[in-house]
A and B are shown apart, each in its own frame.
Chain A
């Protein structure tokens, strides 16, 4: 009996007590920074080419005030553009998914529009609105609304014909079917697309800030680059990564909260 007591969980060695799946993201991140640091040391890289992570973290501390201000600015333009994209994307997606004719007519137009690199639109936006916040918000919006539209429209277009038959036989109008089936059904697609859209929104706002703004991380990085302040450039990238991960995690959380029924395998028990 005493031997069994000895084998209770608290008596296990440290390595077995750690939940490695939960720890993995941190372990791998630390490993990446370590590998990077070692590579820079081994190749004796000058910091104007590839600064070591310790140097980048040092730059974050050193330039904290401008980094903080510009990070907030980028977060602001990105989030604003993203929110507009959510509202417009949801509306256009519902509109397109409403009827087969509208779907057939607008889909090629949307694809064509999406094929245009959004960076090419920034000069036009600058002509219209001047440099600064507005073109950054609009670029974030333009680049991120497409996946939302496509996903919402797809959710609506793939209603099971049997469900539709059951409801139509009861005298349901198009509006009834959309409200009762189409819209709830497209919600998992919609929330799933938010994760893609928020990442794209960062691309849009930073591109626009780099080309045409006096604020934001994009602008900060391009001016740091022109002064050969490479550690600051990397500090900007690091902040973008942190903001991107935070917003992605937020969207993933929202998705899980709003459409738990779509993750049925995890809820079945």
Chain B
């Protein structure tokens, strides 16, 4: 089966020929329906990876192929969520979630006529992430964790084939973070969406992902591609098992080595 996302020998340099090389000789493949995590020292080009896959940046060398098409412009089959929830404060939570539908070519012309269906869909998503009944609230009336849940809904409303998450839980407290891990885990199981998660949190990566890519310091490339062997569905208790901790520790060592090499 051809992978949904395939990055081959990609070089990406910012700011002209003399600029910084963000990633170099990057290779990475993510299969359809897979949950991939990308970890690495800070400044290893994880955000660049996000921009390459979504088509916000076009690499100088190499190929980025998403859904069997070479990426030359933004691909609209993705949903994105960042650490900063970036909800628009003048829209209610529900209106914020519907925003992608006003943009994506496939939906924008149908939105007005089928408003009811779309609103029902948004409310169902809110229900799934545990925000049922909060659609009418403004984002600044929600807590940080609730905003991040709404942010996930917005990323999923147009039924993307690929979900890109850039440290979405970085700013949350430990308990809220664990709750949202379970939300993401269940979404992935229920919707069959492919997810690429960029994170600093190794436990998060091991708990959620099927496959973990370890990146080197700048210029970034993949130095290790690990499969996560634990069976699904995974419960939070798995984090206290030996195999889990051994894997986290091994990853920790690899990243520490990558930092020193820089």
A residues at B contact (CB < 8 Å): 160, 162-163, 165-172, 176, 180-181, 184-185, 187, 259, 261-262, 264, 268
Tell me which of B84, B141, B154 contacts A268 (CB under 8 A): B141
Point out the residues of chain A lying under 8 angstroms from B61, CB to CB: none
8 examples of A-B residue contacts, CB within 8 angstroms: A163-B86, A165-B82, A168-B74, A169-B75, A170-B104, A180-B88, A181-B88, A264-B138
Q: Give the contact stretch, choosing among B26-34, B48-56, B207-215.
A: B48-56
Tell me which of B80, B102, B140, B154 contacts A169 (CB under 8 A): B80
- Contact check, B86 vs A160: say whether CB atoms are below 8 A apart: yes
User: Min CB distance, B97 to chain A, in Å?
Assistant: 12
- Contact check, A171 vs B74: say whether CB atoms are below 8 A apart: yes
Point out the residues of chain A lying under 8 angstroms from B51, CB to CB: 165
- Contact check, B140 vs A268: say whether CB atoms are below 8 A apart: yes
- Contact check, A184 vs B90: say whether CB atoms are below 8 A apart: yes
User: Min CB distance, A76 to chain B, in Å?
Assistant: 34
- Contact check, A169 vs B54: say whether CB atoms are below 8 A apart: yes
Chain B residues within 8 Å of chain A by Cβ, number: 30
Q: Roughly how many angstroms separate A83 CA and B89 CA in the complex, as a whole number? A: 28
Tell me which of A162, A187, A259 contacts B86 (CB under 8 A): A162
Query: Could you give, for residues 140-184 of chain B, a 1 whenever the CB lies within 8 Å of some chain A CB and a 0 otherwise?
Result: 110000000000001100100000100000000000000000000
Among residues of B, the one whose C-beta sits closest to the C-beta of A176 is: B103
- Contact check, A170 vs B82: say whether CB atoms are below 8 A apart: no
- Classify the secondary structure of A's interface with B: helix
Given contacts A162-B82, A166-B82, A268-B141, whether A172 and B89 have CB atoms under 8 Å apart is: no
Which of B80, B86, B154, B155 has the largest number of chain A CB atoms within 10 A?
Answer: B86
Point out the residues of chain B lying under 8 angstroms from A165, CB to CB: 51, 54, 56, 80, 82
Query: Could you give, for residues 174-201 of chain B, a 1 whenever the CB lies within 8 Å of some chain A CB and a 0 otherwise?
Result: 0000000000000000000000000000
Query: Taking the complex as formed, is B78 at the interface, i.e. its CB lies under 8 A from any CB of chain A?
Result: yes
Q: Roughly how many angstroms separate A72 CA and B54 CA in the complex, as a whole number? A: 59
Point out the residues of chain A lying under 8 angstroms from B86, CB to CB: 160, 162-163, 166
Among residues of A, the one whose C-beta sits closest to the C-beta of B154 is: A166
Query: Could you give, for residues 89-106 of chain B, a 1 whenever the CB lies within 8 Å of some chain A CB and a 0 otherwise?
Result: 110000000011011110
B residues at A contact (CB < 8 Å): 51, 54-56, 73-76, 78, 80-82, 84, 86, 88-90, 99-100, 102-105, 138, 140-141, 154-155, 158, 164
Q: Roughly how many angstroms separate A167 CA and B82 CA in the complex, as a whole number? A: 12
Point out the residues of chain A lying under 8 angstroms from B100, CB to CB: 166, 170
Among residues of B, the one whose C-beta sits closest to the C-beta of A268 is: B141
Which of B74, B84, B154 has the largest number of chain A CB atoms within 10 A?
Answer: B74
Q: Roughly how many angstroms separate A132 CA and B33 CA in the complex, as a whole number? A: 75
Q: Roughly how many angstroms separate A168 CA and B104 CA in the complex, as a whole number? A: 10
Among residues of B, the one whose C-beta sits closest to the C-beta of A171 is: B76
Point out the residues of chain A lying under 8 angstroms from B89, CB to CB: 261-262, 264
Q: Roughly how many angstroms separate A176 CA and B104 CA in the complex, as a whole number? A: 11
Q: Roughly how many angstroms separate A261 CA and B93 CA in the complex, as a whole number? A: 13
Point out the residues of chain A lying under 8 angstroms from B81, CB to CB: 166
User: Min CB distance, B187 to chain A, in Å?
Assistant: 18
Given contacts A184-B90, A268-B141, whether A169 and B74 have CB atoms under 8 Å apart is: yes
Among residues of A, the one whose C-beta sits closest to the C-beta of B83 is: A162
- Contact check, A180 vs B84: say whether CB atoms are below 8 A apart: no
Point out the residues of chain A lying under 8 angstroms from B73, CB to CB: 171
Point out the residues of chain A lying under 8 angstroms from B76, CB to CB: 169-171
Which of B55, B103, B154 has the largest number of chain A CB atoms within 10 A?
Answer: B103
- Contact check, A170 vs B84: say whether CB atoms are below 8 A apart: no
Point out the residues of chain B lying under 8 angstroms from A262, CB to CB: 89-90
Point out the residues of chain A lying under 8 angstroms from B82, CB to CB: 162, 165-166
Point out the residues of chain B lying under 8 angstroms from A170, CB to CB: 74, 76, 78, 100, 103-104, 158
Which of A167, A171, A185 has the largest number of chain B CB atoms within 10 A?
Answer: A171
Point out the residues of chain B lying under 8 angstroms from A268, CB to CB: 140-141
Point out the residues of chain B lying under 8 angstroms from A259, CB to CB: 90
Contacts A168-B56, A169-B55, A268-B140 known; list 18 others, CB within 8 Å.
A160-B84, A162-B84, A165-B51, A165-B82, A166-B82, A167-B103, A169-B56, A169-B75, A169-B78, A170-B78, A171-B73, A171-B104, A172-B103, A180-B88, A180-B99, A261-B138, A261-B140, A262-B90
Point out the residues of chain B lying under 8 angstroms from A171, CB to CB: 73-74, 76, 103-105
Q: Roughly how many angstroms separate A262 CA and B75 CA in the complex, as a whole number? A: 33
Among residues of A, the one whose C-beta sits closest to the C-beta of B53 is: A169
Q: Roughly how many angstroms separate A138 CA and B55 CA in the complex, as a whole number? A: 49
User: Min CB distance, B171 to chain A, in Å?
Assistant: 13
